Structure 1
Amino acid sequence: MLNKLKKLDWGILIILVFLMIISTIVIHSATANFPKYSGSDTKQLLFYGIGFFVAIAATLFDYRIVLKSWHVLYGVGVAMLILVYFFGAVINGARGWFQLGSMSFQPAEIVKIILIIGIAHLMGRRQGDRLTLTQDLIPIAAFAFLPFMLVMIQPDLGNAIIYLVIVLGMLWIGNVKYSHVIAGLGVVVVGLVLFVSLFNTFNQEIFDYLNKHEMGHWHKRINTFLNPDLANSDDKHQSDNAQIAIGSGGLNGDGYMQGDMKNRGFIPYPYSDSIFVVIGEEFGFQGAAILLLLYFLLIYRMIIIAFKCYDLRASFIVIGIVSMYVFQVFQNIGMMIGIMPITGITLPFISYGGTSLLLNMLSIGLVFSIKAHQEKYELAD
């Protein structure tokens, strides 16, 4: 046990401590004028404490046992997504949460890591050889398609997109044939052009249909991004106010607890989805740059671990986790500065939320386990 703990990546642990401090103080500022969310900073500290315990415990657990159980995990994940659709609570327009008293649990978050483990197993069968269309790419696509559709119908567009990013990120390093890459990019480009064309052509009809099925917010978010000049001012107030608040922070920020836009309630969910706005407004460009530097160092340390793995499956797992983090950071910050559409994707390790934080810490624990068990790779199956 001690030998495994000695192999912890202390650089990552130190980065996580800094992220914990930033998260706690920013959540405190974001909820200070809103009694309804009083104590969220203390709860976040509690979640972090549990998260560190989860990460350390996962370090002691051999990741190869998890890989062998990928099919069981997949079955459990799909079952949870089906059950939550029928028995889950509706939060922010999506039926994606199990309500446990005052606590809520989102299965879609757990399925992220299950997808990564399953795809790593499927890709690892090739032992580094080129992936084929029929034996690898189609099975991987089918493996990801079911949870993707189950999350889409909740509807939870943010997590569904993350599933796609995880698949693409892992395939990118999985020795895919260039012809398949070009064909895939072609399909994506054609699909995007067709989507934008159809969306603009049948804008009102799409809105009426989505609104009828309680998904009108999807249309508002997409329309605001694609047609900002034509969108209703009420629909784009979050994006506009977020950019104003971040811009007002300037280089040094307005000062801790001094965010005017946040304090006056112009920024929705400042403790969660929009927490980067609070950082930009109160700590300015310097504070935002420090946060991005911490993310860069975290990703860098994880990529180093992936490079040093003897087991290709382990490398695939780490890259899947890296893909998840990189996209979530890019998407969350991007939607606050107007270069990405608004979604419900949170800022990893910073936004308030027990399920997402514990999932992120579990993912880090899986990376630690991979680092701790590489020396035994040649001696184990």
Structure 2
Amino acid sequence: MNRNPFRNLDVGIILMIIIFMGISTLLIYSSTHQNPSYNNFYIKNLINYFIGFIFLFTLFFISNSFLKKYSYWLYIGGISSLILVSIFGDEVNGAKSWFNIPIINFSFQPAELMKIFLIMALAKQIETSLANSVNLTTTNVFYILCIFFPPTILVILQPDLGNAVVYMVILLVVLWVGNLKYKVFSFILSIIIIFVTLFPFVFNKYNDEIKTTLSDYHLSHWYSRINTFINPNDASDDAKYQVKMSTIAIGSGALFGDGFLKGDTTQTGRVPYTYSDSIFAVLGEEFGFVGSSLLLLLYLYLIYRIILIGQECSKDIYNAVIIVGICGMFLFQIFENIGMLIGLMPLTGITLPFVSYGGSSLIINMICIGLILQINKTVREN
């Protein structure tokens, strides 16, 4: 008798993704139904979810050893795509980071795909490094940085600040799980804390010089977003408009919200990018504090389930690093997206996982879930 091929599938995580799909579709419909140019985005979102589920289940059935074997090759493919998009890609919002596929009317962002390839390559390198050592050595860290810097530099040159920051977060969390010596990790973390603390003072002291330099390299939007975050009162009206209107929308939702399709601020087009970057503002205004809290609880439960899987494979370095890398990536993107809408974080254009409209980001997130489910299956089978 054939055994059920789905016997080791974590149904709980699948149900979570289906719930996210429903929430995402409702919010995207709410934010676009009055605009003829975007009123089919909720349908496209469902199609993207369908494609994402295909990738998810495909990865679920691929062997763990196969993925491990080709981690470096996938990484090289990701680097190649970043190079190609810098030459042949389409420019959107000042960043040359998209491939447009006109036949199927689909735009793809290689920097999104590079997230998972980077995690896999780092996991493979850390596993190799720890084969003969309890802790990562200086030489090991050098090899890890050799993997980290090429995609990060290529993404910065596009320029895409948001994904570059995500890569940095991925590096930090995988170094932590990779048994980097406590003193070394503490030293790196201290440097980051000192940099973050001093950066606002340095930025304000050399404000004009930084503005001129970034403008020379066509990075004016970087300056605008950083200046809006550090000096919200001095920023231009255009620069702080998204944060201001998003905060108003979220605050006006009060406890239970204004109701579905009844958000005064988001329904009248006063909040930009409500279907993507600012979709949490739609949730806050229409469903209030209760609706926003329920979404955050769903995220926490998803992260909790992922952590449980990570604990089960803690002795398998490769899989453990992948789990922690994906978990760290999700947590940062959630915090950054919501934080930037209420002024706690700078604007970066990072989407809200599984909720914001965006084919590339959604499909990559689904691939990440597929990897997690595949690792969980491997652990249960062994």
Q: TM-score range by the shorter chain?
A: over 0.9
What do residues 187-208 of structure 1 show as CA deviations (whole Å, max 9, x unaligned)?
A: 2133334533332112122222
- In 1, Cα distance between the equivalents of 2:91 and 2:346? 22
Q: Is the 8 A contact 1:170 1:319 kept in 2?
A: yes
For 1:62, give the aligned amino acid.
S
* Shift, 1:315, TM fit: 1.3
Matches within 5 A, 1:221-300: 221-300=225-304
Matches within 5 A, 1:317-332: 317-332=322-337
- How many residue pairs align between the two structures? 377
Q: Cα gap change, 1:375/1:255 in structure 2, threshold over 3 Å: closer, same or farther? A: closer
Which deviates more, 135-144 or 236-245?
A: 135-144
- In 1, Cα distance between the equivalents of 2:188 and 2:260? 46
What do residues 218-265 of structure 1 show as CA deviations (whole Å, max 9, x unaligned)?
A: 111100111112222221111111111100000000110011111221
Match of 2:116 in 1: 113
Find out whether 1:343 has 2:344 as its counterpart: no
* Shift, 1:104, TM fit: 0.5
Picking from 222, 231, 237, the partner of 1:218 is: 222
Picking from 157, 164, 168, the partner of 1:160 is: 164
Find out whether 1:192 has 2:193 as its counterpart: no
- In 2, Cα distance between the equivalents of 1:8 and 1:66? 18
What do residues 26-73 of structure 1 show as CA deviations (whole Å, max 9, x unaligned)?
A: 000000121110210011111111211221111000122111112211
Q: Cα gap change, 1:82/1:285 in structure 2, threshold over 3 Å: closer, same or farther? A: same
Find out whether 1:173 has 2:177 as its counterpart: yes
* Shift, 1:209, TM fit: 2.6
For 1:324, give the aligned amino acid.
M
* Shift, 1:2, TM fit: 5.0
Q: Cα gap change, 1:317/1:3 in structure 2, threshold over 3 Å: closer, same or farther? A: farther
* Shift, 1:341, TM fit: 0.5
- In 2, Cα distance between the equivalents of 1:316 and 1:39? 38
For 2:321, give the aligned amino acid.
F
Q: Is the 8 A contact 1:94 1:154 kept in 2?
A: yes
For 1:317, give the aligned amino acid.
I
* Shift, 1:134, TM fit: 2.2
How large is the Cα RMSD of the aligned pairs?
Answer: 1.5
Find out whether 1:149 has 2:150 as its counterpart: no
For 1:247, give the aligned amino acid.
G
- In 1, Cα distance between the equivalents of 2:202 and 2:9? 51
* Shift, 1:292, TM fit: 0.5
The percentage of aligned residue pairs carrying the same residue is 44
* 3-state SS of paired residue (1:6): coil
Find out whether 1:77 has 2:60 as its counterpart: no
Q: Is the 8 A contact 1:96 1:106 kept in 2?
A: yes
For 1:290, give the aligned amino acid.
L
Which deviates more, 41-50 or 182-191?
A: 182-191
Q: Is the 8 A contact 1:123 1:131 kept in 2?
A: no
Matches within 5 A, 1:354-373: 354-373=359-378
What do residues 290-311 of structure 1 show as CA deviations (whole Å, max 9, x unaligned)?
A: 1011101111111111111152
For 1:253, give the aligned amino acid.
G
Picking from 117, 121, 126, the partner of 1:123 is: 126
Q: Cα gap change, 1:214/1:20 in structure 2, threshold over 3 Å: closer, same or farther? A: same
Find out whether 1:333 has 2:338 as its counterpart: yes
- In 2, Cα distance between the equivalents of 1:259 and 1:131? 53
For 2:342, give the aligned amino acid.
I
- In 1, Cα distance between the equivalents of 2:238 and 2:47? 36
* 3-state SS of paired residue (2:274): coil
Match of 1:302 in 2: 306
What do residues 91-129 of structure 1 show as CA deviations (whole Å, max 9, x unaligned)?
A: 111100011112101000111000111111111121595
Match of 1:208 in 2: 212
- In 1, Cα distance between the equivalents of 2:132 and 2:27? 44
- In 2, Cα distance between the equivalents of 1:333 and 1:122? 33
For 1:46, give the aligned amino acid.
I
What do residues 335-381 of structure 1 show as CA deviations (whole Å, max 9, x unaligned)?
A: 0111101111000000011111111111111111111122555xxxx
- In 2, Cα distance between the equivalents of 1:2 and 1:128? 38
In structure 1, stretches of 5+ residues that fail to align are: none
* Shift, 1:3, TM fit: 4.2
Match of 2:65 in 1: 64
Match of 2:317 in 1: 312
